[in-house]
Amino acid sequence: MSLEGKKVAVLAENNYEDMELWYPLLRLREEGADVNVVGVEANKVYTSKHGYEVTSDLAAGDAYRMEFDAVIVPGGGAPDKMRMVPEMNAIVKTNFDKGNVVAAICHGPQVLISAGVLKGKRATCYASIKDDVLNAGATYTDAEVVRHDNLITSRVPSDLPAFMREVIAALQ
């Protein structure tokens, strides 16, 4: 397994996009990574846009003090809620500043905006938040995956294979 010993946080909140949370979580576990779901509260059930449930392993208030090799921010309506929680933003900002992989898909870059990590970076996102990404100081690129240093972004669920290939490559 290529990612044994790697610690990954997948952020969760209600109304997450099903595939954008579960595909990375399962794919990274399949590669041997130690993957934790991080929510506002530990051991809380978060429900996706389509009713699928995930239970958090860690609370953001504890996880923001931890270092992860990668932080994954799924999309859907969840990032708009996550970005309102200072500890969620701190998880992203702290790990980004340490050079660890920070990856976001769809509306996930909303958290990157609130964490203040997009300025001067190339990024992509779901089309409806393109202006937000630009206003945060990023250069928008319409591509299935964009990697700029330790920052990886994608647009939509159909981009997940390219997104995860890039995340896994960055972790190896």
Q: Which residues make beta-bridge pairs with 55? A: 45
Other CB atoms within 10 A of residue 141 CB: 15
For 133, residues 6+ apart whose C-beta sits below 8 A from its C-beta are 109, 113, 118, 123, 124, 125, 140
Instruction: Find the catalytic residue in 6, 27, 83, 107.
Output: 107
With residue 145 as reference, give the H or E element that holds it: strand 145-148
* Residue 77, burial from CB neighbour count under 10 angstroms (0-12, 13-18, 19+): middle
Catalytic site includes residue 107: yes
Known catalytic residues are 107
